[in-house]
Structure 1
Amino acid sequence: MKQRTIAKSVEIVGIGLHKGVPVKMRLEPLEANMGIIFYRSDEGITIPLQIENVVDTKMATVIGKDGVIISTIEHLLSAVYAYGIDNLRVVLDNDEIPVLDGSSSGYCMLIEEAGIKELEASKKAIKVKKEVEVTTKEGKRVALKPSNHIIYDFSIDFEHPAIGQQAFRFDYSIEEYKENISRARTFGFLHEVQYLRSIGLALGGSMENAIVLDNTKILNPEGLRYDDEFVRHKILDAIGDMALLGYTLVGEYDAHAGSHHLNHLLTKKLYESEENYEIIDLEEADEESKVFQTAYARA
């Protein structure tokens, strides 16, 4: 199993969710062992995708360096991670990744337009050896558990008639990701949107790029893409947040009411002790390599 990048550069222009301003974004191939790197062309600052570069997790996952930030990276990273891309340069001329339609399906299409290129270097993955967990007194929980597969298991419980209790278990493959996860949109409540706009956030948010709910119902005239679109989007976000590990994950992610903040704490906790994980070479790890070969088979 070899490392992956994209076959050619691709570019889009879109609106940032919070600032509401146009952003030009270009994805560029990188050589082996370079990882995922962000570059703010307007500031001349490079920000590697590393846990220590996370600067905010309240409304989105935000990375930064020397006072320069890049916000709302999780949807793009979810698609990049799902396609098994190890090396990529993301060039932006503003401080936020375009939101597109609020899901990651547009990024899937962008990656497929670019094509995937295998490199000579062997692919590495991070395998969970010992369960790690982060919990809150309110009962929220995120955990990583040992497994020879790649599983995302998520549940939510909202006191809202259009959401309620939802659960979804995702057994990773690219085809399953495209079909069952990538189209799930971000969501928000009308009263929250109004507050966020009052403090200069969510300025680019609309029913074109999010599911919007009032106190009783979904306001989007087209309705939902899946009956349980809300929990599927939570999995989409979690996959993007786990990209901060720097390697594709082999293990089970299990969460109830997880968030960007808890996901960030979870990645940090996994790395606290080498007893929790091992970095495996997929040229040598036969069982895990077969999992990836199956997952990538039709991509």
Structure 2
Amino acid sequence: MQTSIQSSVSFQGVGLHSGLPACLTIRPAGVDHGIVFRRVDVTTKDADLAARFDVVHQSPLCTRLENADGVSVSTVEHVMAALMGCGIHNALIEVDGPEVPILDGSSDAFVRGILSSGVQMLNRPVKALRILKTVSVARGEAWARVSPHDTLMIEFGIEFEDAAIGVQKKTLNMSNGSFIRELSTSRTFCRKADVDMMRANGLALGGTLENAVVVDGEKVLSPGGLRHADEAVRHKMLDALGDLALAGAPILGHYQGMRAGHALTNDLLHALFADPANYEWVNCDSSMAQRLPGAGVHWGEIPEVA
């Protein structure tokens, strides 16, 4: 059945790029509401933004939603990954500014808040998006594709010159609570040279060594080092799940990304939905539901940070 959270939960932090204080509250919502962001600081324009791929204003650094009135919310991917990874289908997300708080740069705090709030089972079956044909997109050497599969598999590969990252590949089945165990604590990462360039251009003003993994050649500059030896590729998989959640429903399919980012995954969803022969909507029975992202989550059990 469709789900929502049991009670509201709030998060305080700063926006990654603005450096300004940011507050986000996830509230329960009813059947077929989906995930909707609401800018509570906006009073003279439409303040609501459906969490959908077709309202994404593409950016290389984050996923940004923007409605027809020009109202936007940036860096939605980590909270979207948390909701999908915990199996939450309906929620109203209130934000008091243009950015979601970055918190520690992962989905960990969002997952903890969602799990502590509890799940609310709603009286309507959940619909899933089942992939029927392989769809691929590419930009230069980067590519992404989705193909038929009986669950959601995410496979990702990255290649960086910095030895602290290097070449990493990983594949995970997103059911059985694996997002929470394997991906949710993995933080966003960047090269020190990229941080210097972004700061020079007025970006990443809220970024610190506590909310991002910063590398410089062989060195990991962030205190405490890595949470996983392959934390970088795990975070890219986390981002991919959050961006795929903008399909508006759980996906049954095999996602593969190589050097892919937010914009390319968004390109993939546009290509997927461009042809109705690529997919079908299915009402999930109990057997199918066990294969969806978020299946097998143990509510009330708060995971430990690696």
How many residue pairs get aligned? The number is 295
Structure 1: distance between partners of 2:2 and 2:121 = 6
| Aligned residue number for residue 261 of structure 2 | 259
State the AA in 2 paired with 1:275.
A
| Aligned residue number for residue 182 of structure 1 | 184
| Aligned residue number for residue 86 of structure 2 | 83
The structure-2 alpha-carbon separation of the partners of 1:293 and 1:104, relative to structure 1 and needing over 3 Å to count, comes to closer
Q: Is the 8 A contact 1:174 1:298 kept in 2?
A: no
Q: Which has the higher strand share?
A: 1
Structure 1: distance between partners of 2:170 and 2:78 = 18
Whether 1:129 and 2:129 are equivalent positions in the alignment is: no
Gaps of 5+ in 1: none
| Aligned residue number for residue 16 of structure 2 | 17
Q: Is the 8 A contact 1:57 1:264 kept in 2?
A: no
Structure 1: distance between partners of 2:293 and 2:56 = 31
Whether 1:153 and 2:172 are equivalent positions in the alignment is: no
Q: Deviations over 1:158-186 (max 9, x none)?
A: 11111111111111135321121001100
Q: Is the 8 A contact 1:15 1:21 kept in 2?
A: yes
Normalising by structure 2, report the TM-score: 0.93
Q: Is the 8 A contact 1:103 1:184 kept in 2?
A: yes
Q: Report SS of the residue matched to 1:77.
A: helix
Residues 102-121 of structure 1: pairs in structure 2 closer than 5 A: 102-121=105-124
| Aligned residue number for residue 295 of structure 2 | 295
Q: Report SS of the residue matched to 2:48.
A: strand
State the AA in 1 paired with 2:9.
V
Q: Percent identity?
A: 35
Structure 2: distance between partners of 1:131 and 1:86 = 25
Gaps of 5+ in 2: 300-306
Q: Report SS of the residue matched to 1:239.
A: helix
Residues 1-299 of structure 1: pairs in structure 2 closer than 5 A: 2-44=1-43, 45-65=47-67, 66-137=69-140, 139-173=141-175, 175-283=177-285, 287-292=287-292, 295-296=295-296, 298-299=298-299
The structure-2 alpha-carbon separation of the partners of 1:142 and 1:293, relative to structure 1 and needing over 3 Å to count, comes to closer
Structure 2: distance between partners of 1:140 and 1:202 = 24
Q: CA RMSD of the aligned region, Å?
A: 1.5
Q: After TM superposition, give the deviation of residue 297 of structure 1 in Å.
A: 5.4
State the AA in 2 paired with 1:241.
D
Q: After TM superposition, give the deviation of residue 296 of structure 1 in Å.
A: 2.6
Normalising by structure 1, report the TM-score: 0.95
Q: Is the 8 A contact 2:5 2:117 kept in 1?
A: yes
Q: Is the 8 A contact 1:8 1:29 kept in 2?
A: yes
